[in-house]
Structure 1
């Protein structure tokens, strides 16, 4: 018997990779059309949601469209079934197709759009170009009997607590004395009801990233011998893992700018591009941003990039880049279609882990509004 994953569960798992908190504040992400309160038999992954994509989704009996660019970005003044975005919305509702968008959160996510582009371009030793978010950290403190201290440290470390740089299972412990008085109805691990008990304990401290806090606390409580474990989760001001826009990395060797432009065309599978900079400039360090890269030019220059590859560069911004000595390649926003294969792979793995028979398809519809005439 076939088993389908629910839309809510599928998106919950997807947002483990690209959580909404990573997105820009006014970005129109998440569920835009329809409902996730249903089983999903087929998912269609697309860069944009245009009329041809909606038609394709209906023909392929998709229950959910997962897109990078939001179908509804600016508020709609009306929804007409015969024109504009209203025509697309109406078609999706008619065929009970939900539309979900992951935009800047998927750009910023580790392994997201910009990492996919960097990999496709063959960049090495990539780093975040512009940090936009640092995950909050907590200090988790738990008190355990001396006899269970080593076990507890192991459980916490195995769950992801105490990870600092290239080190794991980092913790700090202080011995002390715990004091408690079991009341009626208690089933104490040590001592007896109505009698004050003193026990040798250790205070164990570990750092925990926010996204792991709940699962680590759950595992800590499960491993603790006490009926009522005593613990604290305290926010700390240390900066956690960084997330951000763009990536910067190295080419295997320096190449002239003109030659590199041709290489970018080949690797990204595009018909043409716009280049800013002298043909003979040597390119070794490259920054990349799949979408609008105008705001990233100062960051690329500051980080020592020889060239910035972007999906959108404005005319006057190109002048600024030229004056600063930064070479720029405007490869077009459509290069972000690389996300279709990446999202399909991720969702397929999720569905496998969930033991579901749901199918994930890549949209075959072309949504690039531009074509080259030479």
Structure 2
């Protein structure tokens, strides 16, 4: 059995929820349909002609990419342009394209965490907070016989976290009443007869980002035909998501040694370095993609060096004047997401007991070469 496209994307959005993307970002399904079985998912940084050819060879029905293929509304679709040819090939081979961009950047376990982990940083915070998850309270009434199953299902879907504590809930025993009418198929009781049942009121907290998943998991585990539950909005905040990561190295190193570490850890052909080679590096800020605008945030965080891509000449000059070093591994350093997202997605697909496979693209989409 293979997973449906919508199921695959629900799993992707567990890692990178859409609502934490930055405003105006081009994410989600950009081309094709998810209403089909998916045998192979190709995970890639960019969707290029070579990547599409790879998807065709692998007979992939879905591409999950980080960078969008459609940036603005299309006025026309001409198939004799580079972009038009790409869209045409994808459509002809029935390959859907789904984009997870800034939501994958800021997500816990997303690209910035992947880069920080590769650089062996002990993360202490974000470069910039962009979204704070609101907390809600969920209350559901469950027959005593099924309270453990329903509670466990909710916890597994992401409910019950308070700080560093998981599986948090409050449970009150009581008596539920109901009268099954014509057309009902009651789990407990008889049609036309008022029934009293020993039930448990389960209360737990639910982050807004996983609310739908928790409700779906609860309903699936609950034995009742009609489930009584409530969702309350609370004036409390949960996790904060942010761009970039700030962390410390286990031991200080020189900028030259650290730049070599960045090159090796992020598997890039070269890095550009701003700063004196023998400068001591202890605290590091890292941001995947284009980070020219975040030098001030890195300075404010107390970082000795900022690791990010697409640094321009004047930003480099400003960094030198401000006293912060920069290591630029290029925008393509975000390719770290290919293997790691594919592995994460494959593990979730295996949990679903489906035969769908997630594959990391082997195409190198680096555009710059040293001569």
The answer to whether TM tops 0.5 is yes
Q: Which residue of structure 1 aligns with residue 46 of structure 2?
A: 48
Shift of 1:96: 1.4
Shift of 1:25: 1.8
Measure, in 2, the Cα distance between the counterparts of 1:228 and 1:45. 39
Tell me whether 1:39 sits opposite 2:34 in the alignment: no
Q: Which residue of structure 1 aligns with residue 84 of structure 2?
A: 86
Measure, in 2, the Cα distance between the counterparts of 1:281 and 1:332. 22
* Corresponding residue to 1:122 among 116, 120, 123: 120
Gaps of 5+ in 2: none
Measure, in 2, the Cα distance between the counterparts of 1:183 and 1:72. 52
What pairs up with 1:148-159 in 2 under 5 angstroms? 156=151, 159=154
What pairs up with 1:55-70 in 2 under 5 angstroms? 55-70=53-68
Q: In structure 2, do the counterparts of structure 1 residues 171 and 355 end up closer, same or farther at CA, with 3 Å as the change threshold?
A: closer
Who wins on radius of gyration, i.e. which is larger? 1
Q: C-alpha offsets along residues 80-117 of structure 1, whole Å, 9 cap, x if unaligned?
A: 22322111111111111111111111111111111111
**SS class of match (1:137):** strand
Q: Do the aligned residues in 2 keep the contact of 1:153 with 1:204 (CA within 8 Å)?
A: no
**SS class of match (2:127):** strand
Measure, in 2, the Cα distance between the counterparts of 1:91 and 1:179. 58
Q: Which residue of structure 1 aligns with residue 279 of structure 2?
A: 281
Shift of 1:366: 2.1
Q: Do the aligned residues in 2 keep the contact of 1:162 with 1:207 (CA within 8 Å)?
A: yes
Shift of 1:324: 2.3
Measure, in 1, the Cα distance between the counterparts of 2:198 and 2:95. 60
Q: Do the aligned residues in 1 keep the contact of 2:306 with 2:324 (CA within 8 Å)?
A: yes
Q: C-alpha offsets along residues 61-94 of structure 1, whole Å, 9 cap, x if unaligned?
A: 2211111111111333432223221111111111
Q: Do the aligned residues in 2 keep the contact of 1:292 with 1:311 (CA within 8 Å)?
A: yes
Q: C-alpha offsets along residues 13-63 of structure 1, whole Å, 9 cap, x if unaligned?
A: 211211111111211111112111111222222111111112222233221
Q: Which residue of structure 2 aligns with residue 332 of structure 1?
A: 330
Q: Which residue of structure 2 aligns with residue 71 of structure 1?
A: 69
Q: Which residue of structure 2 aligns with residue 15 of structure 1?
A: 13
Q: Which residue of structure 2 aligns with residue 136 of structure 1?
A: 134
Q: C-alpha offsets along residues 320-352 of structure 1, whole Å, 9 cap, x if unaligned?
A: 322322211111001011111012102211322
Measure, in 1, the Cα distance between the counterparts of 2:350 and 2:201. 40
Measure, in 1, the Cα distance between the counterparts of 2:229 and 2:39. 43
Q: C-alpha offsets along residues 291-332 of structure 1, whole Å, 9 cap, x if unaligned?
A: 111232222222221111002223322233223222111110
Q: Which residue of structure 2 aligns with residue 107 of structure 1?
A: 105
Measure, in 1, the Cα distance between the counterparts of 2:248 and 2:354. 40
**Runs of 4+ that moved beyond 4 A:** 141-145, 151-158, 169-175, 177-187, 199-205, 219-222, 227-231
* Corresponding residue to 1:249 among 247, 263, 267: 247
Measure, in 1, the Cα distance between the counterparts of 2:3 and 2:315. 46
Measure, in 2, the Cα distance between the counterparts of 1:51 and 1:184. 60
Q: Do the aligned residues in 1 keep the contact of 2:126 with 2:244 (CA within 8 Å)?
A: yes
**SS class of match (2:86):** helix
Shift of 1:355: 2.3
Q: Which residue of structure 2 aligns with residue 301 of structure 1?
A: 299
Q: In structure 2, do the counterparts of structure 1 residues 154 and 165 end up closer, same or farther at CA, with 3 Å as the change threshold?
A: farther
Moved more, 133-142 or 211-220: 211-220
Measure, in 1, the Cα distance between the counterparts of 2:9 and 2:41. 11
Q: Do the aligned residues in 2 keep the contact of 1:293 with 1:312 (CA within 8 Å)?
A: yes
CA RMSD of aligned residues (A): 3.4
Measure, in 1, the Cα distance between the counterparts of 2:70 and 2:226. 49
**SS class of match (2:268):** coil
Measure, in 2, the Cα distance between the counterparts of 1:4 and 1:229. 30
Q: Do the aligned residues in 2 keep the contact of 1:130 with 1:299 (CA within 8 Å)?
A: yes
**SS class of match (2:358):** strand
Gaps of 5+ in 1: none
Q: Which residue of structure 2 aligns with residue 214 of structure 1?
A: 215
TM-score by length of 1: 0.82
Measure, in 1, the Cα distance between the counterparts of 2:353 and 2:180. 46
Q: Do the aligned residues in 2 keep the contact of 1:127 with 1:249 (CA within 8 Å)?
A: yes
